[in-house]
Amino acid sequence: MKFTHLVQINDLLNPLIDLLTREQLWSGLKLRAEDPSQFVIGLDSFELISRSETELVRELHFGHLTIRDHVTFTPMRHVRYEVEAAGEVPAATLITTIEEPEPEQLFVRFEYDTKAVEGGPPVDPYYQQFVKDAYKEADIDAIRTIRRLAEEGQLGAGSGSVPGPTV
């Protein structure tokens, strides 16, 4: 299943929503990978297995289910997650990309690609829509968290923010 959606970060025509800088947005997206406990609902714990300037290997623990993924950073541009298949959980890829068509006009594009479970039954279209909606809501919540962290001064200097992304 492939799925893409876009979340508007800064609306230059809406003075009620403070602007995030590209640096704040990048810091928030990177933090989402480095400390998923602030972003992932239902996560019991996580471990950083290895870390470099541009890569992480993580294990995310949800009860008895452990998901391992590899995260690659292209600084100030995108974060790529490669999820390993685990039992009934298929391999998947998520790429979050910062887009800036005009100065300060920031968006984040979320691109999902979930592989079919080998030998599994075809995926029900209603279930696919449910998953897409869940991904979208999780991403919107992540942007809300980034805005809150920016407002609290945890993502570097910027113009601050108010809760909630513009969608």
Residue 123: per-residue pLDDT:
73
* Closest among 77, 82, 96, 102 to 7, alpha carbons compared: 96
CATH hierarchy code of domain 2-33+77-151: 3.30.530.20
Which pLDDT belongs to residue 118?
Answer: 65
Contact 108, 7 (CB under 8 A): yes
Q: Which two tokens stand for residue 49?
A: 């297995």
Per-residue model confidence (pLDDT) at position 120: 66
Inter-CA distances, 50 with 32, 72, 85, 135, Å: 16, 12, 19, 26
> pTM (2 decimals)?
0.87
pLDDT on residue 161? 37
Cβ pair 46, 59 in contact under 8 A = yes
Q: Residue 165 pLDDT > 70, yes or no?
A: no
Confidence label for 166 from pLDDT (cuts 50, 70 and 90) = very low
In this prediction, residue 1 carries a pLDDT of 87
Distance of CA 62 to the CA centre of its chain: 18
> What residue segments make up the domains of the chain, in order of their start?
2-33+77-151
pLDDT of 151 > 80? The answer is: yes
Residue 89 has what pLDDT?
81
